[in-house]
A = this chain, B = another copy of it.
Amino acid sequence: MSSSFDGNLRISIFGQSHSGGIGVVIDGLPAGERIDMEALQAFLARRAPGGNAWSTPRKEADAPEFLSGLVNDTTCGAPLCAVIRNTNTRSGDYENLRDVPRPGHADYTAHVKYGGFQDVSGGGHFSGRLTAPLCVAGGICKQLLEKRGIFVGAHILRVGGASEAGFSVTGLTPEALQRAAAKPFPVLDDGAAAQMQDEIRAAKEALDSVGGVIECAAVGLPAGLGDPMFDGMENRIARIVFAIPAVKGVEFGAGFEAGRMRGSEDNDPFYMDGGAVRTRTNHAGGILGGITNGMPLIFRAAVKPTPSIAREQNSVSLSRGEDAILAVRGRHDPCIVPRAVPCMEAALAIAITDALLERNKVI
């Protein structure tokens, strides 16, 4: 178990960074959904490496081949399988990591868990590259949702010391989400973008990396999606978001700030807006009791700095059982945050689609 999400959608992700290919099987998509391949490719391009100064120089086209599940680009009810070939691999860069694990990376824990049989090249199954098939699944879900008036988007809230203000949490529009997504560096405020890029540039020059925070939202959601307890919206979303490497925290609405608040402040007062029930504030992030209330769904995820840095680091030699110095070779992002933005959108789109399928399970 590990790489299978077994909700109303069943998503099985496979591949290693340097294996023949990576991909995803999605079981449970409704039949008759036409996929806009150009839009999907554009979505994947937002995650793909190699496009700019703040990502790894490794270039991959990330063009999925659809082996099944589609007839004329339309879902046919059978499981959809998409495969992305790995072409631009330089496995030699990674051989020493089998003995001397990178701090902050899964090298050591994978070694213990798999008894030394893990695929060490490029991080194997633990590589951030495995978010490409997640984005294939999420990009398809996004399209299904948009046809139903539900829009998902995200922006960078923080990179190291530079940050910007969050989304408007009560008046968020599809257009605002799309504006952020259209930018090569997805932020709301271009001034903040410059500061964040400075942070990345400085980290890179210091042979270092830097972390950040991403804010993600959905609008157009009906009230009544989700469930109490283990299958609440928070639970579903968190379960998928933590599948994105480097995520170390997730909060909804007011999140950790709620720990400082009084109930009279945190509670979002209801009011009637035409025929619709709405709330004046949105500290709940659109979720009460695990179920959507019709307000924008808002979450933030903390993304740690890329653990692979060019600086020398202290580590150990597993074979010799002694301390060792590690110099990581290979090509790495000084900041994974910009490329993680579409991954957050993918995670949210999958969770919402899963909950929509749940909601309609009536007999």
Contacts and interface: CB of A to CB of B under 8 A. Distances in A.
Interface of A is mostly: mixed
Contacts of A260: 158, 160-161, 211
A35 interface: no
A296 interface: no
A254 B359 CA distance: 36
A113 B291 contact: yes
B263 A209 contact: yes
Copies of this chain assembled into the complex: 4
A288 B101 CA distance: 11
Interface centre among A23, A255, A361 (most CB of B within 10 A): A361
Interface string A21-36: 1110101101110000
B12 A12 contact: yes
A250 B266 contact: no
A103 B270 contact: yes
A341 interface: no
A314 B271 CA distance: 7
Contacts of A225: 113
Nearest to A145: B363
A181 to B, nearest CB: 21
A105 B284 CA distance: 10
A138 to B, nearest CB: 13
Given A206-B264, A257-B302, A264-B313, 6 more contacts: A104-B288, A108-B277, A213-B259, A248-B258, A269-B315, A272-B323
